[in-house]
Amino acid sequence: METARKISSMEVRGAGRIARAAAAALRNLAVSLNVKTLEDFDSEMRKAANILLATRPTAVSLSNAIRMVLRYSADNVEEAKLAVISNANSFIENSEKAVQRIGEIGARRIRNGDTILTHCNSMAALSIIREASKSGKEIKVIATESRPRWQGRLTIGMLEEMGVETELIVDSAVRSMMNDVDLVVVGADVITANGSLVNKIGTAQIALCAHEARTGFMVAAETYKFSPQTIMGELVQIEERDPEEVLPDISKYKHIRVRNPAFDVTPHSYIDIICTEVGAIPPEMSYLIIKEKLGWEMDEAALGSSLPCSYD
Ligand code: RUB
């Protein structure tokens, strides 16, 4: 499937974007499927969902989106198709609205004259920066390169378009800049039940520096980035990518092993606030978000079923 290839190769990347792309792919598949029975429809949808799920193992947004799209009950193929189309369209629309809302809520915490440090390329984090700038606050952004995939270059491109004063730094310059930073704002791939954050590799080091320098640390995360599975004790799988992303001529070396984890875990104790579309919450409230917003997922997670059923 083309969307799965694009997500694996990171042509489509970022937790929110991959979730929306997966929802759109399932919707388009539903439209194009030429099957006679509900069983066949269901099985084709599940097959596609499993291919999408395997593309990037860390982002819970992907499995949350897939569950939301495939949550339907229908008496025939036509009804099932309509339900998938409607679920996918609502997920995409709500997800885009959530990013906008996070921007509006998070921007209130940014003061005129603030310097904000951001890492990687997060639409939710950039939404906060965009709204703060649009509301007339004079702000400066420090963006990290985010090696090995250089997502920082995407970020500075977007900040350039917004007309926000920006400095680009190498990832290892974070500590030496931290005393000039008022607030760190990053996105999220996963928020666990205890409020810890899984995000682009390097985020945990930045949080540690911010903590030591007493600089605020804010996470921008839509509620579908929260992981119901972690309530059931599941650990978040950290994606380890191709070593050649770090060392392209690795074949020259006989005794060198390259490690390339794509994400790391920031403890909740280093996070001041998580800005979601339903409000800015302390990390300790993450359990409530999972319960209230994603509560229906817990049973499935508890039962260990991989995907919801399409019919009763
Ligand atoms: C992207 C990354 C982003 C989050 C949030 O990693 O870590 O901070 O996904 O992004 P990758 P958003 O480039 O490996 O996908 O706020 O856009 O969902």
Among 290, 287, 240, CA closest to 268: 287
Question: Which pLDDT score is estimated for 270?
Answer: 98
**What DSSP letter does each residue of the chain carry, written as one string?**
-HHHHHHHTTSS-SHHHHHHHHHHHHHHHHHH---SSHHHHHHHHHHHHHHHHTT-SS-HHHHHHHHHHT----SSHHHHHHHHHHHHHHHHHHHHHHHHHHHHHHHTTPPTT-EEEE-S--HHHHHHHHHHHHTT---EEEEE--TTTTHHHHHHHHHHHHT-EEEEE-GGGHHHHHTT-SEEEE--SEE-TTS-EEEETTHHHHHHHHHHTT-EEEEE--GGGB-GGGGGTPPPPPPB--GGGT-TTGGG-SS-----B-EEEE-GGG--EEEETTEEE-GGGHHHHHHHHHTHHHHHHHHT-SS--S--
Ligand 1 mean position, distance from CA 220 (Å): 11
For ligand 1, mutation pick of 62, 118, 120, 241 (most atoms within 8 Å of CB)? 120
Question: Which pLDDT score is estimated for 303?
Answer: 38
Q: Is 16 in the pocket of ligand 1 (CB under 6 A)?
A: yes
168 phi/psi in degrees, rounded to 5: -100, 135
This prediction's pTM: 0.93
The reply to whether omega before 148 is within 30° of 0 (cis) is yes
Q: Is 62 in the pocket of ligand 1 (CB under 6 A)?
A: no
Ligand 1 mean position, distance from CA 67 (Å): 20
Tokens representing residue 52 in the block: 């999408």
Ligand 1 mean position, distance from CA 121 (Å): 6
C-alpha gyration radius of the chain: 20
Q: Is 187 in the pocket of ligand 1 (CB under 6 A)?
A: yes
Supply the residue whose CA is at minimum distance from atom 6 of ligand 1.
14
Q: Is 210 in the pocket of ligand 1 (CB under 6 A)?
A: no
- The tens-digit pLDDT sequence of the chain (312 residues) is 899 999 999 999 999 999 999 999 999 999 999 999 999 999 999 999 999 999 999 989 999 999 999 998 899 999 999 999 999 999 999 999 999 999 999 999 999 999 999 999 999 999 999 999 999 999 999 999 999 999 999 999 999 999 999 999 999 999 999 999 999 999 999 999 999 999 999 999 999 999 999 999 999 999 999 998 888 888 899 999 999 999 999 999 999 999 999 999 999 999 999 999 999 999 999 998 998 887 655 455 443 444 554 433
Q: Which of 40, 42, 75, 189 is catalytic?
A: 189
Ligand 1 mean position, distance from CA 265 (Å): 14
Query: Sheet harboring 216-220: ordered strands across?
Result: 165-169, 140-144, 115-118, 183-186, 216-220, 273-276, 279-281
Task: Count CB atoms within 10 A of the CB of residue 162.
Answer: 13
Exposure on the CB side of residue 217, measured as CA atoms within 13 A: 25
Question: Which pLDDT score is estimated for 123?
Answer: 98
Question: Which pLDDT score is estimated for 4?
Answer: 96
For ligand 1, mutation pick of 102, 150, 151, 189 (most atoms within 8 Å of CB)? 189
Ligand 1 mean position, distance from CA 166 (Å): 20
72 Cβ contact list (under 8 Å, min separation 6): 80, 83, 84, 87, 310
Supply the residue whose CA is at minimum distance from atom 11 of ligand 1.
14
Q: Phi/psi zone of residue 304: left (φ > 0), alpha (ψ -120 to 50 degrees), beta?
A: left
For ligand 1, mutation pick of 11, 62, 121, 171 (most atoms within 8 Å of CB)? 121
Among 252, 277, 226, 288, CA closest to 106: 277
Task: Count CB atoms within 10 A of the CB of residue 312.
Answer: 6
Asked if 120 is an active-site residue, the reply is yes
Ligand 1 mean position, distance from CA 74 (Å): 34
Instruction: Give CA separation, 214 vs 2, 51, 79, 184, 200, in Å.
Output: 45, 43, 55, 11, 22
Tokens representing residue 161 in the block: 């378009």
